[in-house]
Amino acid sequence: MMATVEVEAENPPCFAVVAPRARTVAGLRLDLAALMLLTACLAASPAAAQLRSNAQAEQSRTIRDQTVTRSVPPPARYVSEAGQGFVLDRAGSLTLLRFDRSNETWALRPSSAPRGDTIYRNDAGEQVLRVTPSGGITVYTSRNPGGSPVSQAGPAVSLEPTSLGPVQMFNLMTRRSGLVSDAMGRLIRINLSGEESEALCIEALIVTTDAVVRIARSPSARPFLDRLRSITVVEGSRASVSYSQGDLRVVVDPRRGIAGRPSSARVIRAVIPQD
């Protein structure tokens, strides 16, 4: 403080003390304003970047959804050039497919492909249909993995699961147990428990037992069923298939409808290890 007085002694007191303080306060205010502006810019930059990222993601989803929507095949019966017939139906946003002479209904999921096409896959990720923006459809099967063009051959029929009464359900379980037991050459127990959607559990039982019979008829795949003693179908919060300690367990998710029932492809993959 003494040094300050000595330096400013030649000037009037009002200038010696007040003027430097005024400049200091003004400088502090300017520095504070600049600091606040810089802080605001730094805080706004991530937020703005996030907003841009969200907008770009939303735009991409919109474009993808528009592409998928344009390439939804109409419900109908179709026949491929190779002679394979199938029915397409709709259940909400799901596309359902059932091949002729088959008990299984496939819930297909769309994904975008080059040239604006849409690919429909099953829950195992296998390509089943390819639809062009103009409506052309190609079906892919194990017999025609390269695809075969299809054309409409008639009206669609509903592929929604049907419910059974208690007696019909018991008879179905008995028949299915006998079918699998005959294929395996030993007794295979069937356990089914469904409260929210018995129809979905019944369809899961049919699909699963058909898959087991197919495996049993294959000389190279049959050994994977040596430990099989029971097939269990239950409801749960997530669709899944597991094969452990002789029990082939299938969990269906009633909230998702047919999409909550594992396909035969997933059953086969659970039984036969994938390379």
Kindly report, residue by residue over 14-24, the tens digit of the pLDDT. 333 333 444 44
Residue closest to 234 by CA, chosen among 258, 205, 257, 267 = 205
User: What pLDDT, on the 0 to 100 scale, is given for residue 185?
Assistant: 97
pTM to 2 decimals?
Answer: 0.70
User: What pLDDT, on the 0 to 100 scale, is given for residue 71?
Assistant: 73
Residue 266 CB partners (closer than 8 Å, separation 6+): 123, 124, 241
User: What pLDDT, on the 0 to 100 scale, is given for residue 194?
Assistant: 82
pLDDT at 65 over 80: no
Residue 195 CB partners (closer than 8 Å, separation 6+): 235
Q: What is the pLDDT of the chain when averaged over all its residues? A: 81
pLDDT at 147 over 60: yes
DSSP assigned state of 225:
G
pLDDT at 47 over 70: no
Q: d(Cα 218, Cα 184) in Å, to the nearest integer?
A: 12
Sequence spans of domains, the chain: 15-64, 76-154, 166-271
Kindly report, residue by residue over 222-268, the tens digit of the pLDDT. 999 999 999 999 999 999 999 999 999 999 999 999 999 999 999 99
